[in-house]
Structure 1
Amino acid sequence: MAERVAAAGEKAGAEVRLRQVPELAPQEAIASNAAWSQHFDQTKDEPKATVDDLVWADAVLFGTPTRYGNIASQLKQYLDTTGGAWAQGKLAGKVYAGFTATQTAHGGQESTLLALYNTVYHFGGILVPPGYTDPLKFADGNPYGVSHVTGANNDAPLGDVQLAALDHLTERVLTYAAKLAA
């Protein structure tokens, strides 16, 4: 999902930084789940997110797996490190939105995005959710962002609906970020 958002941003002419927050889980936990272990191995050398990345950006699209209807602890810890930049107002006035994935339908996607947005409100960020601003959102069904059901094996590929929804979300966020920058 993050790769699709980054590609959509680049296609729209945006300068994009694709970042990953550091993994916090113990190696035993990661190794106990084949999909998690594979993902860890594939992304361990990816650039890690810093607070400076948020300060730099005019628009931020956060992605997180859903954990019990909430954001992943890894993202929460990263957000908890932003206090200095927040206190200086460096995270305010930027456009924010989010996307998530769960293993099951009704697995907490909407509550995860709402929980994520609590931090954005504290930043003084400008939330630009997709709402039902395009007919594809009636198929996607998530006005708070974009969500995907991976299935129990975490292997369900993104379908045309999710890909289009990610593109729409990215375009919408970039449109409003450009209006603010003008």
Structure 2
Amino acid sequence: MHGTIHYCLEETIIHKYGREKWQECLKAFNLPPNHSFITQIKEDIDEALTIDFIFKSAEILGISLQQLFDDFGIYWCTEYAPKLYSAFYKGANTTKDMVLKLTKIHEMFGKIRETAQPPRFEYKELAPNKYEVEYISQRKLFDLYISLVKGLDVYFNNQIHIEKISENKAIMTFSHY
């Protein structure tokens, strides 16, 4: 998994829970207390280690995995990505706009980084502003994807209703203000 995920997780935890909690997470993986993933932001990091790190971090923070996903999703979409990936936000004015762009964005990353295996998405329009979204990835991080969509909703100040209908599909109803 790309190191930028780790660095955003680091920033999320420090921002929401404090540097001491972040250092506890590092200690659980025998990393020095002054370690920062910023030095690995462009590297690929072992995926199994990444998943384990995320799960263990939620445990250390005393929160559910879903809460950590939600915290990460909001931070990624409102703070981290707009600074680092601002070009991708251009032309998107709503959560729906951005969600429908995600496959193209991930395809671009896949071309830039040959080792990248970002998820893909298939969309089926059920009605105006209502879509069935299928998450296609071996990673099984659909709940994280849903949290990222929630983060987009915070960024665009919209209101989305998400109904998870399977382990890789959801019905998303987009509202705009």
What TM-score do the two structures reach when normalised by structure 2?
Answer: 0.30
Q: Which has the higher helix share?
A: 2
What TM-score do the two structures reach when normalised by structure 1?
Answer: 0.29
